[in-house]
Amino acid sequence: MEVISILMFFFRSDFNLPFSNQRWFRQSSSVFALGVCCLGFVLGDLVTGIEATASLEDPDHPERIYYQPPDTQENSDPQDRPRGGGSRPPCSESEMSPAPCADLELTALVPFPEIVKDDSQGSAAKQPAAWGRTIAEIPAFWYYIPYPATAIHSAEFELLDDNDNLIFRDPSVQLAETPGVIGYHPNLEAPLEVGKTYNWHLILHIDPDNPSLDEYVSGRIQRVALPPEQVAQLDTLSPLQQADLLAEAGIWYDTLTALAKVYQDAPTAWISLLKQVELDEIAEEPIVNGCLYNQFPTSTYGAQ
């Protein structure tokens, strides 16, 4: 408004001068007005930029969460399968397929650090390792389900220890309002043990009479401990602040769960995090079981 007032002043003043000076003043006032206008735009952009930067860097309301991947010290051949259904054609080409179609794959929301191992011919081969850490006694697991719930006969979750002993099985994982991202919180009888790595599987049974149509994803989760002062601090923070702290500590599963709780108000943080681990294709897919993830315990970290 100040810039407009200055411009109006000069344009009105132009016509109060003697005719012999009006031409000169028109030119000089126009140049001056243009300069003032440009200065206004520059100052406006500067102020806007400062405000935007301040918003992004506000530690109380982080809009971007930066995940720091820990060193997995992986030295084994991973048997993980972070994506399923890779052999199925897209919907535009699957009119005759007995299986439901989808243009995206069944996907575990977990980082995929690639492990380079020598194959049987002695050549280096990359294998995906769907691996992440938690500090929760009973964590939540996150998946993208590409099919409507009505197209899936049942969904099954399994958790095994590092010796492949089955310690938990849920044959009826609830899928509601899919396709979309779901959070699954298993009803474990005992908490995960600190320092141990567990294998998990999520299996979609499409047709009980045709097991070849089943799809699954698999990966691993390791429970670790944070310093007691950080655990105590978590209970004083908002979910967005919790996610910021956990991501910096390399705690994947609980970072996602914290962001899911505020997804409706801060979707940018969720989307940004998934894109950091190359989950771009599903980063903007909706979380569909909102009633479930909002009921996750406020604190599931327990005593360390």
Number of alpha carbons in the 13 Å side-chain half-sphere of residue 206: 18
For residue 291, the tally of other CB atoms under 10 A from its CB is 9
Tens digits of residue pLDDT in 12-27: 444 444 444 444 444 4
Between 267-276 and 239-248, two packed helices, what is the crossing angle to 10 degrees?
20
pLDDT at position 64, please? 80
Q: Are residues 161 and 235 in the same domain?
A: yes
Residue 61 lies in a domain: no
> Is 281 among the domain residues?
yes
Share of the chain above pLDDT 90, in %: 50
The reported pLDDT for the residue numbered 77 is 54
* pLDDT tens figures, 59-86: 455 568 899 998 766 555 556 777 776 5
Same domain, 32 and 119: no
- Range(s) of the domain holding residue 250: 83-88+99-293
Domain shared by 16 and 135, yes or no: no
Instruction: Flag whether 67 is in a domain.
Output: no
Contact 109, 182 (CB under 8 A): no
* Dist. CA 71–CA 34, nearest whole Å: 57
State pLDDT tens for residues 180-206. Answer: 999 999 999 999 999 999 999 999 999
- Cβ-count burial of 177 within 10 angstroms (0-12 exposed, 13-18 middle, 19+ buried)? middle
Pair 17, 152 in one domain: no
Mean pLDDT of the chain: 76
Tens of pLDDT, residue by residue over 82-135, are 777 655 666 766 566 677 888 899 999 998 766 545 555 655 556 667 889 999
Domain presence at residue 299: no
> Locate tokens 């969460």: which residue?
65
* CATH value at residue 121: 2.60.40.1220
d(CA 46, CA 119): 56
Rounded to an integer, what distance in angstroms lies between the CA atom of residue 76 and that of residue 31? 71
Contact 61, 200 (CB under 8 A): no
On the question of pLDDT at 31 being above 70, the answer is: no
Mean pLDDT in residue range 217-241: 93
Question: What is the total count of domains within the chain?
Answer: 2
Residues 130 and 246 in one domain: yes
> What's the whole-number mean pLDDT along residues 284-292?
78
Per residue in 155-184, pLDDT tens?
999 999 989 999 999 999 999 889 999 999
The whole-number average pLDDT for the span 1-21 is 45
Residues 265 and 130 in one domain: yes
Tell which residue, 144, 140, 159, 178, has the closest CA to residue 256. Answer: 140
What is the signed CA dihedral for 32, 37, 39, 41, rounded to 10 degrees? -170
